[in-house]
């Protein structure tokens, strides 16, 4: 298949059985390395970043397009983007926009960003499940635990016990604002 035919099939989208007309996974190496073809493919289905050439997994425009379509695509991005605060923030914010509710994107961030309060706060705002991927040092942070508690006020068992072991002032502030 040539580039023109590949782009035509990508544009056509899916058939009546919800199958893609074009599969990057089955494409030849030349098409997997073609920026225009890969951009078109990840725009429709971000997870096909997995099948792109390694050079394109390291291309910022391609990676952003993929994670804007599906935050889970972060797992296939080059390692440098998993350390990029802007890219990771975009991915965790996408969880809510795409109605993904498990905070999965944070799992693929570099460990250094799992310690970043801004990123973890944003991820937990999108989904309290994201807390499971945060660094242990932030799981005890009162601001993050407060957001988690507000999202799960009927599920108190999900709150880290360590938060409840904080100072009386912290516990008081946490529970007064929720109740």
pLDDT bracket for residue 88 (50, 70, 90):
very high
62 lies in the same domain as 120:
no
Residue 71's nearest CA partner among 52, 90, 91 is: 91
pTM score over 0.85: no
Query: What CA–CA distance (Å, rounded) separates 80 from 130?
Result: 21
Whether 92 maps to a domain, the answer reads: no
DSSP state of 169: H
Residue 135's nearest CA partner among 118, 148, 116 is: 116
Q: What share of the chain is helix, strand, coil (3-state, %, to 5)?
A: 70, 0, 30
Query: 162 and 140 in contact (C-beta within 8 Å)?
Result: yes
Whether 157 maps to a domain, the answer reads: yes
Whether 96 maps to a domain, the answer reads: no
Cα angle at 125 between 122 and 126, to 5 degrees?
90
Q: What is the pLDDT of residue 178?
A: 46
pLDDT bracket for residue 104 (50, 70, 90):
confident
DSSP state of 161: H
pLDDT bracket for residue 25 (50, 70, 90):
confident
Query: Range of 167's domain?
Result: 103-179
Whether 27 maps to a domain, the answer reads: yes
pLDDT bracket for residue 28 (50, 70, 90):
very high
């Amino acid at each position: 298949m040539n580039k023109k035919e590949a782009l035509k099939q990508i544009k056509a989208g899916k058939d009546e059985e919800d199958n893609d007309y074009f599969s990057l996974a089955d494409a030849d190496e030349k098409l997997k390395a073609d920026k225009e073809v890969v951009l078109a493919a990840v725009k429709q289905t971000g997870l096909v970043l997995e099948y792109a050439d390694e050079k394109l997994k390291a291309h910022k425009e391609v990676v952003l397009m993929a994670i804007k379509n599906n935050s889970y695509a972060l797992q296939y991005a080059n390692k440098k983007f998993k350390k990029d605060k802007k890219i990771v923030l975009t991915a965790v914010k996408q969880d809510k926009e795409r109605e993904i509710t498990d905070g999965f994107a944070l799992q693929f961030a570099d460990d250094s960003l799992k310690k970043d309060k801004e990123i973890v706060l944003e991820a937990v705002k999108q989904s309290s499940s994201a807390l499971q991927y945060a660094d242990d040092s932030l799981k005890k942070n009162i601001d993050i635990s407060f957001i988690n508690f507000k999202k799960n006020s009927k599920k108190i068992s999900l709150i880290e016990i360590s938060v409840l072991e904080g100072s009386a002032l912290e516990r008081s502030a946490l529970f007064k604002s929720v109740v």
